Each structure stands twice: as structure tokens, then as C-alpha cells.
Amino acid sequence: MDTIVVEGGVPLRGTVQVSGAKNAALPAVAAALLAEGDHRVANVPDLADVRTMARLLGHMGCAVERSGDHHGLSIRVPAAVTPEAPYELVKTMRAAVLVLGPLVARWGRARVSLPGGCAIGARPIDQHLKALTALGARIELEHGYVDATAPAGRLRGTTFTFDVQTVTGTENVLMAAALAEGRTVLRNCAREPEVVDLAAALVRMGARIEGAGTDELRIDGVERLRPLDHVVIPDRIEAGTFLVAGALPGSDVVVRGCRAADLEALVEKLRAAGATVGEVEGGLRVVGDGRPRPVDVRTSPHPGFPTDMQAQLMALLCLADGSSTLTETVFENRFMHVQELRRMGAEIAVDGKTAVVKGVPALSGAPVMASDLRASAALIVAGLAARGTTVVQRVYHLDRGYERIEAKLAPLGARIRREKA
Ligand code: EPZ
């Protein structure tokens, strides 16, 4: 297993380019299943999870190839596919559950492995299944698989209110409703930019969707959709990770290609922590001016502070001149980075959903263990600031969501390298 080695203490200076959003690319690839033909998805990051989704569509009988010209994927979907997502693929990437809605909507049946939990929580999909049932699907759970069928041959529009705001739940059902008969009204929907991007992609395929970006989606089903031709939005979490790194003392970084509107909650917190953040041509510039100031943050669904940025911000606040509180309301176990940060000298106390971070003047490099995607990113950020050497192990977690992060940080002056196991 590869490790990433960081020699900390070097302020970051320069410009870094953001890749396409993993969490917009994955639903877009799944959406290709809604229409026969040749699809083009551009600005797709080259990540482990994207390769897994491509392998999954390949398993179903689609042809998926990386195309250099638009740094994306070309996907050929046949008239008939094997509507299955096997455990071997789903267990490595929960987002594979996104094929469920498209398969049952287009072919009237799907057999998708139940995604296991993961490090950050149980991650149930009850809302996905309740909503598809409301659309007329018959759902059976056995042997760890979801067997979904549309008894009437086609799903039927309905009105459904989610019990919780779920990103992939909203996306799964939005895709299914696009081909259902009649009107569907979905309430308490997720409003993340990635949901809005999927809705835009579906509309370009011929879907009739209103309300994207609000918590109520209205969809008028159509008989058939045309192939996707879509450019994925920039990755706001990758961008946010670089903004946090650029807020470290003495750093001055331009994060190019991100959209300021997607990052407002994070930027507010970085400014409260004393960083200067401003819009520049094509992105955002962040300057870290001395020790951060403590801030309190509470994660919540968009447009609130993103749970996917909680770990990274915590790494910065470990250096603040005071105590910060971070409350994680979205997932039940998203503090795995805490014990690793403590190994680096951080003073953090966790009480249920809240972590209290008492800032220290400096962190010290140490061997640490990545546990999930964003916790790994937090350890890289901490390593950049720490005195001495940090060795992050199990970086396969990192590679799921960051396209060669060491190759992006090194030009900023970071002393960072990957060591092949
Ligand atoms: C998406 O996961 C993202 N993944 C996650 O990013 C992100 O952390 C999460 O949204 C929250 O923003 C992708 O988009 C591929 P949820 P998702 O359904 O859709 C509960 C990363 O780092 N819930 O919005 O799985 C659930 O347990 C990943 O890139 C139910 O109870 O998250 C959680 O507490 C990590 N029943 C809350 O809702 C359901 O049926 C939000 O989960 C579905 C969800």
C-alpha cells in the first residue's frame, strides 16, 4: 500500500487547478444508463471511484473509455444491459447504488448489492428504496441484494417527501422519475451543487425537471431520453481542501477552476479564522496570515457547512490561538481523523457529535493512518503544517477522491512525495 510522505513547515505559494467533481461525475455516469447510444461526459477526474463506476457499467454490457480530448469518458450504452451491480463492485464504492434508479426506470428491473456501511457511518439507503417504492417499484431485499422491479413495466409519477435530505437518494430518484409516467413531486430534496449538475445533465438529455437547487423537484416523465453530452462541474471539496491548505500560516494560494458560489459556507469560516479569501480571475485566492483564529462550525446539508470539509477545517483549527468546536450532524462517526491528529500533537476532545479543538502553537510530524477519504485529506493538511515528517498510510482512501494530490501540492512548494509500497 502506498504512503505519502510530507516534510512540513513550508508555506504554500502559487496556483493549483481543481479537477472535475467526483460526486457529480459518478451520478452523471449512472445517468448514461437512462438512454441508449453514445454518451460523452467531460471534465471527469481520473479517480479510483470513477474507474469503479466505469467497471460497473462495463459489467452490465456498456463500453466505457477514457477520452483524452475532453478529459472525460465516452460511454456506449446498448439497447439491453445486464441490470446488475454485484457486491464485489458495490462494496468498494457505495455510490454504485446510483445505478438502481436508472436500471429499474429504463428496464423495469435491477439487482443491486446493498452497499455496506463505511468508516463514517451506517449509510443506509432506506430513503432510496422508499421513494422508488412510491414510484411503483416492487423492492425485495434478500442475500444482501436489492431486487427492484416495475410490475407495471414502467414507474409511475408520485409525490414523495424524503425523511432526511440525502444527496444520492435525491439523485437516484430524480433519475428514475425522469422516465416515469406522469408527474413526480419530490420534497425535502438535497440541494448540493452536484444534484443541480445532475438535473442539468438530465435536462440536456431531454428530461423535464423544475426546481433544481431547491428542496422541491418537479419532474414530468418522458418516454425516452437522448444520450448525455455533459461537462462535470468543478470539485468544490477538492477546491475547499486546497483553500484550507492555503489558509495555513504564511501561505498564499490561488485555487483555479472552482466556483465561489459553491464554497460560501467554507469561505465564511476561513475568513472568521483570519484568512483573507477573495475572488480572482477563474477562481479564489486565499492568504493565511499568522496563526488561525478559533471558530465554531456545525456541518449540515447544502448550503450549510459541508460535512466533507469538517476534517480538513479541523486540521487548520488545531493551530488556532484558542478553542474551536466542530459539530458533525450529518454522519454518526466522522471523527476518525481525531486520534491521528492527536498523534501529531493536537489537543482535541470529542463528546458525541462535537469535537473541541484547543489550538496548539505547532503540530509535529508523525506516522498516521488514513481511515476515510476526507480524514486522509485532513492528515495531509496537518502534515503540511507540522514540524518534521508525516507519513500517511493507506492512501488508497485519498486516491478515491483526489487526483494525484501530491502532484498538485508539490508545485506550491510542498515537500510531499508518494512512496510505492
Ligand atoms: C453523498 O453521500 C456524498 N457522496 C458524500 O461524499 C457526502 O459526504 C454526503 O453526500 C453528504 O454530503 C456522493 O455523492 C457519492 P447522504 P450520500 O445520503 O448520498 C442518511 C465523499 O467524501 N441517509 O446525503 O451517501 C445518511 O446516513 C463522500 O465524497 C439515510 O438515513 O450521503 C446520512 O446520515 C463521503 N437514509 C445522511 O442521511 C438514506 O436512504 C446524509 O447522507 C440515505 C441517507
Kindly state if the Cβ of 401 falls inside 6 Å of ligand 1: yes
Q: How does strand 138-142 pair with strand 159-161?
A: unpaired
Q: Residue 70's pLDDT band (boundaries 50, 70, 90)? A: low
Ligand 1 pocket mutation pick from 50, 163, 194, 330 by most atoms within 8 angstroms of CB: 330
Residue 71 clears pLDDT 90, i.e. is over it: no
Residue 118 annotated in active site: yes
Q: 3.30.56.10, 3.65.10.10, 3.40.640.10, 3.30.830.10: which CATH number matches 22-231?
A: 3.65.10.10
Q: Quick check: helix, strand or coil at residue 318?
A: coil
Assign domain 3-19+234-419 to its CATH superfamily. Enolpyruvate transferase domain (3.65.10.10)
Q: Is the CB of 146 under 6 A from ligand 1?
A: no
Across the range 312-326, mean pLDDT stands at: 98
β-sheet bridge partners, residue 389: 7
Three cell numbers, residue 357: 479543538
Q: Among the atoms of ligand 1, which is closest to the Cα of residue 128? A: 40
Per-residue pLDDT of 374-385, as tens digits, reads 999 999 999 999
Tell me the pLDDT tens digit for each residue of 12-66.
999 999 999 999 999 999 999 999 999 999 999 999 999 999 999 999 999 999 9
**Model confidence at 68: pLDDT above 90:** no
User: What mean pLDDT value characterizes the chain?
Assistant: 96
Q: Is 361 exposed, middle or buried (0-12, 13-18, 19+ CB in 10 A)?
A: exposed
Query: pLDDT digit string (tens) for 101-141?
Result: 999 999 999 999 998 767 788 789 999 999 999 999 999 99
Dihedral angle of Cα 46, 52, 54, 56, to the nearest 10 degrees:
180
The pLDDT assigned to 264 comes to 98
Q: What is the mean pLDDT of residues 188-207?
A: 98
Question: How much of the chain, in percent, has pLDDT values that exceed 90?
Answer: 93
Please tell me the predicted confidence (pLDDT) of residue 421.
77
What does the pLDDT look like over 329-343, one tens digit per residue?
999 989 999 999 999
Sorted by sequence, the CB contacts under 8 Å of residue 63 that are 6+ apart come out as: 75, 76
Q: What is the pLDDT of residue 34?
A: 98
How many angstroms is it from 307 CA to the middle of ligand 1? Answer: 9
Q: Could you tell me the residue ranges of all domains in the chain?
A: 3-19+234-419, 22-231
pTM of the predicted protein model: 0.97
Classified as helix, coil or strand, 161 is strand
Q: Do domains 3-19+234-419 and 22-231 have the same CATH topology?
A: yes
Q: What is the pLDDT of residue 116?
A: 72
Does residue 345 have its Cβ closer than 6 Å to ligand 1? no
Span 258-284, pLDDT tens digits: 999 999 999 999 999 999 999 999 999
Predicted confidence (pLDDT) at residue 89 exceeds the cutoff of 80: yes
- Our mutation pick for probing the ligand 1 site, out of 100, 166, 192, 403, counting the most ligand atoms within 8 A of Cβ, is 166
Q: Annotated catalytic residue: which of 118, 189, 258, 318?
A: 118
Give, using CA atoms, the residue closest to atom 16 of ligand 1: 166
